[in-house]
Amino acid sequence: MFFDTHTHVNFSAFKSDANEVIKRALACDTWLINVGTQQDTSTAAVELASKYSEGVYAAIGLHPVHTWQQMLDEEESHFKSRQEEFNESEYTALLYSKAVVAVGECGLDYFRLPEDNKEKAIKKQKAVFIAQIAFARKNNLALIVHCRDAYEDLLQILKAEYAGMPAVIHSFTDTWETAKKFLDEGFYIALNGILTFDKTGRLAEVAQKTPLDRLLTETDAPYLTPPPYRGKRNEPSYVRYVVEKIAQVRGISLEEAAEKTFENAKRLFKV
């Protein structure tokens, strides 16, 4: 069994075939968590998960890039973020579904900041992140944490506001030294397709040194597609290639890597 702990089949990239993609994943023994990035995608994640009795779950939350309106232009995405407030009552209303297993993705993103108001945007991101931490605590849910170019600030906030609580650092891309700081606080590290094409060797070191019982796998689909599908839309069933890379780096079997990371996800998200 495989577990894609962070995917976005709830996004418009899958609007014509979301259920087919999910069924394909389940047929490949792959469970998944569709992760929200604001109110509408969080709602879509819950609605999708509610169609399945097992193996499909949802996370609800507000991504840091949606705390400020700006144009985002990168290799795999080009869109204008819609500024949104974290409305606790609206997110609480989504908890009607037992398929909701986490709050997120939330966190800090200093890579994408408005040029004319960086300090104010950072202050807003921190406030919204802390509000979602409180929401996760209140509802006894794990936290799915987004971080880009902000690991030190993120760690400080988590240590102050979320010590001892369950969380995963999603799409980890920094060094082993940074990963260890989060592991020392009891958090999980999640790796995705970047591991399969990272030429720096940094993520291979993280995959090798992170305790196997604290490692999670994900795709972040439709983005970050691993070989052999590089350049095409990513999907949950491709998480297998991330697990294969972890197994290769650690010198263990695919079966062991899959089993351990699957059990880790079940434990963290209480499924």
Which pLDDT score, from 0 to 100, does residue 80 have?
Answer: 52
pLDDT value at residue 75: 46
Digit-coded pLDDT (tens) for 77-112? 544 567 899 999 999 999 999 999 999 999 999 998
**pLDDT reported for residue 72:** 45
Per-residue model confidence (pLDDT) at position 69: 75
Q: What is the pLDDT of residue 17?
A: 98
**pTM for the predicted model, two decimal places:** 0.95
pLDDT of residue 79: 46
Distance CA 205, CA 100 (A): 32
Closest CA relative to residue 57, chosen from 3, 14, 103, 100: 100
Q: Which domains does the chain have, with CATH numbers?
A: 2-269 (3.20.20.140)
Looking at residue 115, what is its pLDDT?
83
Position 66 scores a pLDDT of 95
Mean pLDDT (10-residue bins), the chain, 271 residues? 98 98 98 98 98 98 90 48 89 97 98 89 97 98 98 98 96 98 98 97 98 98 97 98 98 98 98 97
pLDDT at 70: 61
- Among 18, 264, 9, CA closest to 142: 264
